[in-house]
Amino acid sequence: MKITRRLLVKCTWVVLLFVAGILLAGILFPAISFGFAKKAKHYRDAIKMVWLQWFSRILGCRINLEGALPEQGTLLVCNHISWIDIIVVGRFLPAYFVAKSDILSWPVIGFLAQQAGTIFIRRGDKKHIHATSEKMLWLLKQNSNIIVFPEGTTTCGDEVLHFHASLFQPAVITKAWVQPVAISYQQLAKSQAPFVGDDEFIPHLLKMLSLDGIDVTIKFLKPISAAGKSRVAISDEARQAICAEIIHVDWSKTPITQGL
């Protein structure tokens, strides 16, 4: 009974949050762009971060944050376990995400991601991949942060798949910093948070809302300079840095220092 009541309350908050998101994206964002042209991006970024912070609170995320947040104009590369990764990383810094076009079909989330400026990529479509690279290049030149998941898919969190080096090309051209970010879920969330295979968003969301909380560690690792390096070299270096954290560290001994 306790779980049912908790789930009902959380579901109510999620519905309210989604409604607020639709109103913000559909009405407030256009109004901000019209009335505050020079500072529109700053205001939209602040609103997006607050929305993600509320989402993480409703999910009950208990976040242990380690390392230094990046300077503006950084390409952040993360290992990918769940859609929750976007929530727990994006709540800490203004950034644009690069995500699979599959998300566009998700109820509400697809619309919100599109309105928030997410760059969608179609796997196997070379023309679309080139267009994605051009958008990333433009954003880095505008001194914006970009968050990518270069594995191209999710894992159960106990491995880091091969990185798609093409996603690093915009950083090579702009000589931007590349910052690896290691994400790891602990306790019950370690087995429940992974969003893999044929998982669907709504059932997985309900499963996450049923938990007492979601324990996750996010570690911002040492930035990598892209100057004078190939995209393959940077990709390998970033992947090795994340592998060193994910595979060889006993996360169960990591204290939770950053709460809601």
210 in a structural domain = yes
What whole-number distance in Å separates Cα of residue 231 and Cα of residue 213?
A: 38
Which domain, by its residues, includes 59? 2-253
What whole-number distance in Å separates Cα of residue 249 and Cα of residue 1?
A: 38
Beta bridge partners of 178: 75, 224
148 in a structural domain = yes
260 in a structural domain = no
Query: What confidence tens digit (pLDDT) does each residue in 149-187 have?
Result: 999 899 999 999 999 999 999 999 999 999 999 999 999
In the chain, the number of structural domains is: 1
Beta bridge partners of 78: 181
Q: Residue 109 half-sphere exposure, CB side, CA atoms within 13 Å? A: 19
Query: What confidence tens digit (pLDDT) does each residue in 94-144 have?
Result: 999 998 888 888 878 888 888 888 998 876 666 667 788 899 999 999 999
Query: What confidence tens digit (pLDDT) does each residue in 27-40 have?
Result: 888 888 887 877 88
76 in a structural domain = yes
CATH number reported for the structural domain that contains residue 142 in this entry: 3.40.1130
Q: Hey, CA dihedral for 16, 18, 20, 22, is it positive or negative? A: negative
pTM, two decimals, is 0.88
